[in-house]
Amino acid sequence: MERMAALQSRPWVFAHARVIHDVFVLAGLSLVSLALWSASAQAAQPDHPSLAYTYPSHTLTLAASCAVCHGTNGHSASGMLGLAGMPAAQFISKLQAYRAGSLPATVMHQHARGLTETEIQALAQYFSAQSPGKTVLEPQPQALEQDHD
Amino acid sequence: MVGAGFAGATLAKYLRLWSNYGVEVIVVEQNRQFISCPLSNLVLGGSRELSSLTFGYDMLQRHHGIQWVHDQVTAIDPERRKLTLLRGELSYDRLVLAPGVDFDYSAWPELAEASARADLPHAWKAGPQTQLLRKQLEAMPDGGVFAISIPKAPFRCPPGPYERICQVAHYLKQHKPKSKIIVLDANPDIIAKKPLFSRAWQELYPGLIDYRPNSSVLHVQAAQHKLETEFEQISADVINLIPPQLAGKVAQMAGLNNVDSRWCKVDFRSYASSLAPEIHVLGDAIFSPQPKSAHIATSHAHVCANAIVALLRGEAPDPEPVFANTCYSFVSDDAAMHVANVYRYDAAKELMVTMEGGGLSEAASTLEGTYALSWARNIWSDTLT
């Protein structure tokens, strides 16, 4: 319900994609799976605060590009190299040192040199605003099903 | 959203997140499991099981309220905005396709039937073929020949074939040291991380790897285990034939593969197809000077998710998106090296262009092996939870 309200309060949102349920039922998809399927949609409980209104999309894209090594929003799954909550001044001076080559690095100098000053400042704001210590979820390994394409 | 590899799964999640859960996302994916291509060469090297790279989509679905249809697209009707699936139909307002790559066997009419190539795994999508190739390596006698054929670029994961050669060499060196690897590369030279791979081959696997540039495979005799190039005929115990590639089937179905009939031209600010503005194409299927990598695929998804949210708000997408790429490659079971670059949209060139300052590792190292594994855990976590 909350989600519906959220939808209505945001007129820019498209009317949701329409699924032609009848066709699915006719084609033999069971009602049970349909029910499960829509249940999964209703279970949507945003446990992530909305970032889209706080940061420009330019920064969101860039910060997400750092996530592959530093974890989503700087929360690293391996515990290595987390960035969440790093004070902005420290963040900026590290990135400047990587650019200058004065901090030893395997790869960060190559990333830092491609960014503008403004981008570094924006990323410093972004990562310093994340609260550290969040548990990171990881998908669990499983046996391969042989019908995989 | 059709296809839930790195690009598609990331788009589904971030479109939900960045629209504040206001946009409904329906994913159509034909496989029940996600299998990571990154690290799958280590299965061939023997230091990793494929199950450690195989994951479910349940966390992604649950945490973000993504609707999921396990089915296959059989037709796309852009005019009526409709998808036909094996079991029904779906209509959409905006369609995003991330179909990955398809394999082109047309150079070898003798392999037109799938059964004719059952014994020649490409293993270029991680999965049962990876396991088959590993089994073939295990069954190979000491003193045997492993032949790998690399297609002309572009293809998925440019350093991948050269990493695979390291992994196969790593296995053979330990278990079948009299064996040999013959590399038939259709390209004039090693196309990615050349100095690093050359050095790894020389230092770690001397005498094991026989590299032959400009060697396209012209004919294949699958039953006799023979390959023919313009210059020679080669017999091999195990043949890893990696075919030329093009945009995945769903993109072909929609007729969006308008560059060389292989890849899809898109606007790099939104990933909208140049042929159909309400259809976006992401990941390996697009025409782009950037490598077809997992990191890049997720970056396409981020730019596209942001652009769709902006368009829905009636705003213009970010005019100058910036993102990075890193590809790590393992030269043994624990040492890795990388190529890293930052890319920025150039409005005059209408392309993402490479910023100054990127480049390669100085040398492969176990430190970077550790970072590469951490990279994998983080990109899986970001994509799948």
CB A129 within 8 A of CB B383: no
**Could you tell me which residues come within 8 angstroms of residue B98 by beta carbon, excluding any fewer than 6 positions away?**
B1, B2, B3, B4, B5, B7, B8, B11, B281, B282, B283, B285, B297, B301
Residues across chain A? 149
Mean pLDDT for the stretch of residues B110-125: 97
Q: Is B373 at the interface with chain A, CB within 8 A? A: yes
Q: Residue A63: closest CA among chain B residues belongs to which residue?
A: B323
User: One-letter amino acid identity for B178?
Assistant: K
Whether B342 and A114 lie within 8 Å, measured CB to CB: yes
Query: What is the rounded CA–CA span in Å between residue B300 and residue B202?
Result: 36
Give this prediction's pTM: 0.92
Task: Name the token pair of B164.
Answer: 């695979």
CA A110 from chain center: how many Å?
A: 23
Instruction: For residue A71, list chain B residues with Cβ-Cβ distance below 8 A.
Output: 378, 381-382
pLDDT attached to residue A34: 34
**So what's the pLDDT on residue A52?**
56
Positive or negative, the CA dihedral A101, B335, A137, B382 is: positive
**The CATH number of the domain covering residues in A57-128:** 1.10.760.10
Whole-number pLDDT of residue A51: 56
The pLDDT tens digits of the residues spanning A89-129 come to: 999 999 999 999 999 999 999 999 999 999 999 999 999 99
Instruction: Decide which of A30 and B214 is more confident.
Output: B214
- Tell me the β-bridge partners of B185: B150
Calculate Rg over the CA atoms of chain A: 21
Tokens linked to B63: 């945490």
Task: Report the pLDDT value the prediction gives residue B336, as an integer from 0 to 100.
Answer: 98
All domains of chain B in start order, with CATH: 1-30+71-104+245-316 (3.50.50.60), 111-241 (3.50.50.60)
Region B292-311 average pLDDT: 98
Q: Establish if B80 touches chain A: CB-CB under 8 angstroms.
A: no
Mapping DSSP to helix (H, G, I), strand (E, B) and coil, where does residue A146 land? Answer: coil
Q: What percent of chain A has a predicted confidence (pLDDT) above 70?
A: 64
Q: Given this model, what pLDDT does residue A12 score?
A: 32
Residue B34 has pLDDT above 80, yes or no: yes
Of B23, B314, B381, the CB nearest to A138: B381
C-alpha to C-alpha distances, B356 to A110, B144, B340, nearest whole angstrom: 9, 45, 11
Q: Where are the domains of chain A?
A: 2-43, 57-128
B positions 294-333 inside 8 Å of A (CB): 294-295, 298-299, 302-303, 306-307, 309-310, 312-314, 317-318, 320-324, 326
